Amino acid sequence: MSARRVGFYLSDKKRRKMNLDAFSHFCAEHGIQVVEINLSRPLEPQGPFDVIVHKLSDVVVDAEHDNRSRQLLANFQKYVSAHPRTVILDPLPAMTQLLDRFASCHIMSKLHRSLKDWRICSPPYLEVPGDADLSSVHGAVKEHDLSFPLICKTRVAHGSFSHEMSLIFSEGGLADVRPPCVLQSFVNHGAVLHKVFVVGDKHFCVERPSLKNFPSGPCDRKTIFFNSQHVSKPESSSDLTALDEKMPLLPTPSSEALSALVQELRAQLKMALFGVDVIVNIQTHTMTVIDLNVFPGYEGVPQFFSSLLDHIKTLLDSGLSDPQKSPSDASSIATSI
């Protein structure tokens, strides 16, 4: 019996971060061959693939304005359509929705209904389209009952620019908004972020530093611009993460609540590889979901290799295509964000 073949398409940065060479050796010890896919060449001779694991975020985002990326995406989708039994982790339509924070916020906003028994919610938010002017933003913030301070995030949730965020403290600070973007009411959470990493039916929760508490309500403080990677990486050290006052320890999210959250999101997202950013409200102790991420870095998860391999083997051993897989049209994906 020939070795089962798993194709990987990752950017150079993601490849290094994941240490794909080490994962390839790990898979080989278990009778699975890892093949790196080159989208610049025809895919058919590179196959066959039993499973394809990818992070096509760069290609999808660039396809909106770049013909070459659009063609690479079309080539990938052509191969997927011609080989319906190849399992795709994760299906392009599912992955693409998380590259658009408008779509992510809509998904998160519904969690309080489906997970009300677990007291899980997301912050109030506002979609600011690219053609919005300052007066319309002022009116929409009041209409949607958003409370200051506000955190402003780019609409596209991929690339280095997507980590550039700002904290806005008053109506005057709304002049710093650069559409298209998302505005979320900032929730004080004791400078602790819980990053939940999902790999198939397994998940892992890792604590990271986060933004400190700020007084609620509008004030005359100037807008704070920051890069979220400088705030919430394991090694981060920033004035923005230092609490100004002593405060009691917040409860950590219960394993049962996190399991319920992951199960619900897996069903909604139709994905197996994603991340969830969770904070705990210092006043209500409510679990608050603030972001969703495509194929995150899994930093701090020592079981990542074994968990990913276990999920791949489960899919291979089932002999079935991924039940969450769905067909997609490359042109619609390229223009959806």
CA distance 223 to 324: 42
pTM exceeding the 0.85 threshold for the entire prediction: yes
Is there a contact between 227 and 236 (Cβ–Cβ < 8 Å)?
no
Q: Is residue 188 part of a domain?
A: no
Q: Is residue 206 part of a domain?
A: no
What's the number of domains the chain is made of? 1
End-to-end CA distance of the chain: 43
Q: Is residue 139 part of a domain?
A: no
* 45, 279, 305 from 294: Cα distances, Å: 28, 19, 17
pLDDT-based confidence at 258, cuts 50/70/90?
very high
Mean pLDDT, the chain, whole residue set? 91
Q: Is residue 321 part of a domain?
A: yes
Q: Of the candidates 183, 189, 123, 131, which has an alpha carbon nearest to the alpha carbon of residue 153?
A: 183
Residue 216 pLDDT: 94
CATH of the domain at 25: 3.40.50.11370
CA distance 223 to 110: 29
Q: Which domain holds residue 324?
A: 4-96+302-335
Q: Is residue 89 part of a domain?
A: yes
pLDDT-based confidence at 332, cuts 50/70/90?
very low
Is there a contact between 98 and 274 (Cβ–Cβ < 8 Å)?
yes
Q: Is residue 257 part of a domain?
A: no
pLDDT in tens, 80-125: 999 999 999 999 999 999 999 999 999 999 999 999 899 999 999 9
Q: Is residue 67 part of a domain?
A: yes
Residue 317 pLDDT: 87
Counted residue by residue, the chain has a size of: 337
Q: Is residue 260 part of a domain?
A: no
